[in-house]
């Protein structure tokens, strides 16, 4: 059943769907009065709804049944990615949303080849948020991950103070056989706590960045014996987190 994130809460057990979602219902899905969808309100409450009215500007859907299902990770994960080349960040956002990430934080790393001006960054942010929304609908999430505006490394360190735990993936730790920091951190975490995970761009994190991360309370973690690409490592960690908190228990 198609899912839509609605901007307002239900009024008299009715949702009003407008803008792009209204266009998707009418023009793409070609739904009719009586067809059913799932509506998710801004608080993450979801309901099976029946289309009751279709106008030129909106679709009105009557609530048939409220659903009480848990589809979110019990901890809040933010993926901080050093800006990679091409459309790799789009891939990370799409698949990371499907795997349960709560936020994405792109940052300009010392070895990031990509450099954007403010206008281009704003346009990218809009596209990334749309990708996250569509992926959240597809994967039956009850919230759309936030895409934080691209920031520099110094701003990332300042932002890191907002998190309960913070780790940086560092391939040298894998080469040295370090496998415990990531798993031990997950074992310490409790429901509702937050974790910031930092990943470098294609060239990895620079020595100065590693030093500053350690000075700002980050743990350095290996992700197994194989060296992962910048677009693979975040997905590996999210899958491992899902296994630890959802499947293992």
Predicted confidence at residue 239, as pLDDT, reads 97
Pick from 67, 98, 123: which residue ends a domain?
67
For residue 179, name the pLDDT band (cuts at 50, 70, 90): low
The burial of 207, by beta-carbon neighbours within 10 Å (0-12 exposed, 13-18 middle, 19 or more buried), is given as: exposed
Together in a domain, 149 and 215: yes
Predicted confidence at residue 18, as pLDDT, reads 92
For residue 227, name the pLDDT band (cuts at 50, 70, 90): confident
Together in a domain, 55 and 95: no
Structural domain boundaries, residue 92: 76-247
Together in a domain, 81 and 200: yes
CA-closest candidate to residue 248, choices 73, 69, 68: 73
The burial of 26, by beta-carbon neighbours within 10 Å (0-12 exposed, 13-18 middle, 19 or more buried), is given as: middle
For residues 48 and 10, give the distance between their C-alpha atoms in angstroms, rounded to a whole number. 12
130-159 confidence digits (pLDDT tens)? 999 999 999 999 999 999 999 999 999 999
Q: How many domains does the chain have?
A: 2
Residues 6+ positions from 203 with CB-CB distance below 8 Å:
111
Is the confidence at residue 95, as pLDDT, over 90? Answer: yes
3-class DSSP state of 90: helix
**Percent of residues, the chain, with pLDDT higher than 70:** 97
- Please give the model's pTM, rounded to 2 decimal places: 0.90
Together in a domain, 88 and 54: no
Together in a domain, 105 and 192: yes
Asked if 120 contacts 150 with a C-beta cutoff of 8 angstroms, the reply is: no
Predicted confidence at residue 178, as pLDDT, reads 56
32-51 confidence digits (pLDDT tens)? 999 999 999 999 999 999 99
User: What's 26's domain CATH number?
Assistant: 2.40.240.20
98-117 confidence digits (pLDDT tens)? 999 999 999 999 999 887 77
């Amino acid at each position: 059943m198609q899912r839509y994130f609605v901007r307002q809460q239900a009024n008299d057990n009715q949702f009003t769907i407008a803008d792009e979602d209204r266009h998707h219902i009418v023009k793409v899905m070609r739904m009719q009065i009586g067809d059913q969808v799932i509506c998710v309100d801004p608080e993450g409450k979801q309901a099976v709804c029946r289309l009751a009215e279709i106008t030129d500007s909106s679709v009105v859907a009557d609530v048939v049944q409220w659903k009480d299902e848990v589809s979110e990770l019990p901890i809040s994960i933010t993926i901080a990615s050093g800006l990679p080349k091409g459309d790799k960040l789009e891939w990370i956002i799409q698949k990371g949303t499907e795997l349960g990430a709560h936020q994405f934080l792109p940052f300009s790393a010392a070895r990031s080849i990509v450099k954007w001006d403010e206008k281009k960054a704003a346009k990218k942010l809009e596209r990334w948020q749309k990708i996250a929304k569509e992926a959240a609908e597809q994967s039956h999430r009850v919230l759309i991950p936030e895409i934080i505006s691209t920031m520099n490394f110094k701003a990332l360190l300042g932002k890191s103070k907002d998190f309960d735990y913070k780790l940086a993936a560092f391939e040298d730790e894998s080469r040295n056989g370090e496998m415990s920091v990531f798993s031990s951190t997950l074992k310490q975490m409790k429901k509702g706590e937050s974790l910031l995970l930092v990943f470098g761009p294609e060239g990895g994190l620079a020595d100065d960045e590693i030093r500053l991360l350690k000075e700002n309370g980050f743990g350095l973690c290996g992700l197994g014996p194989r060296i992962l690409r910048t677009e693979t490592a975040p997905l590996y960690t999210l899958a491992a987190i899902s296994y630890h908190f959802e499947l293992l228990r």
